[in-house]
Structure 1
Amino acid sequence: EQFHVRLLTAEKQLHPLLDRLVLLLQQTPRYWDPFCSSAIVCSFLDFINCTVIQERAEVKIKRNRVESASWPPYVRVKNGQPDAYAFMMFTRDACPDVSVYLQAIPDICTFINFNNDVLSFYKEELAGEKHNR
């Protein structure tokens, strides 16, 4: 739960892998346009934030309520990191003009999310998961 706070205060993370993630995120401006780099970093921060919040007891208790019908799609978008994957396809060297692909990003994200669902289905069936239906 401390990743974002430690990132913003420039403190060492609580796990070496998270320190490596910070280093990788700091490198994104070298390879992607500033807007794309920002979208990639935001996507990773959303992923970590959503992963952390899902583990909180009060969220686990409430997530199966009728009022939370839009929670699963929201989590899917945040945890699936479609923005990061979509923007990572277009490095600055390969495609320097953002306007060429920017309007395709929403469709690419949708494609990534649906493919993730299809590929996850087999794994979830084998594991006997029933909560995603």
Structure 2
Amino acid sequence: MITSFVSDIGCINPAPEPSEALWASMHAYADQLGVNYEKGTHSWECFQVGTSYPAVCLISCLLISAVHSDVALSVNTDVLQACLPQHSLEIQVYVGTYTWLGILLDDETSKSPEDCSRFVERLAAGEKQPTPLLEGWAELMRLAFKYWDPVVANFIVAASLNFVNANVLENRHEFKTLKPTRGGKNWPWFMRDKDGVAEAYALFTFPKDRYQDISNYLEMIPDNMSSYLSLTNDILS
């Protein structure tokens, strides 16, 4: 199944390792955020995943969009081997940092449920978050508008806020004791969609410096990219 999947999306060679420039830039931005990622810690492991993710995620998303879209996107072996050079280093650092902090949030929500439950409230009020991790996530929300069309950035931010809220909900007593009924058949997918943040990753593929006309890719986001990423992640994990 996995062999067929890789063949169907046109993946011929393994994704490249993160470049030295990406490593250096990720480290510099991480130091600026003040989130601990000392070697040997869980955060360090998450940081390594985040630094590697742009090479894999952006390649996969662009391949999927090329397979399912009528729009002729420039995809070739040389581009893939160079880890999508049309995505700027800034974009790669953003996606890498988003992945790193997102994994930490997923793991840390149960330890600080009160801090996380008020994240959206503080963001809306323009208040500083109580921890470097939450403040770093808030900074990514604000920074999204620098790299993506305002409407696209809105979707990215909305998906990111839903991600935090879904993680908070999963740690609530009401959620843990909720008994499924026949009337809630779409509830599992509702939660999967919120806590999987696949919509944001699908949209990361299309920064405004490369894709000015958002009509070229919006239709593929719900089915061909967002759902695809969520379900493929479930299968391969």
TM over 0.5: yes
Which of 188, 191, 198 aligns to 1:82? It is: 198
Q: Tell whether 2:145 aligns with 1:29.
A: yes
Q: Which residue of 1 aligns with 2:221?
A: 105
Structure 2 Cα separation of the partners of residues 86 and 55 of structure 1? 27
Q: Which residue of 1 aligns with 2:168?
A: 52
Over the aligned positions, Cα root-mean-square deviation in angstroms equals: 1.3
How far is 1:14 from its partner?
2.2
- TM-score normalised by the chain length of structure 1: 0.83
Structure 2 Cα separation of the partners of residues 58 and 82 of structure 1? 25
Which of 109, 114, 117 aligns to 2:231? It is: 114
Amino acid of the structure 2 residue aligned with 1:20 = G
Structure 1 Cα separation of the partners of residues 139 and 161 of structure 2? 14
Q: Is 1:82–1:109's contact at 8 Å kept on the other side of the alignment?
A: yes
* Unaligned runs of at least 5 residues, structure 1: 121-133
Q: Is 1:77–1:113's contact at 8 Å kept on the other side of the alignment?
A: yes
Q: Which residue of 2 aligns with 1:96?
A: 212
* Unaligned runs of at least 5 residues, structure 2: 1-116
Q: Which residue of 2 aligns with 1:3?
A: 119
Q: Percent identity?
A: 36
- TM-score normalised by the chain length of structure 2: 0.48
How far is 1:73 from its partner?
1.4
Amino acid of the structure 2 residue aligned with 1:92 = K
Could you list the structure 1 runs, at least 4 aligned residues long, displaced by more than 3 angstroms after superposition: none
Structure 2 Cα separation of the partners of residues 58 and 69 of structure 1? 18
Q: Which residue of 2 aligns with 1:70?
A: 186
Q: Tell whether 2:117 aligns with 1:12.
A: no
1:67-104 Cα distance to aligned partner (Å, 9 max, x none)? 44432211111011121011110001121110111111
Q: Tell whether 2:172 aligns with 1:40.
A: no
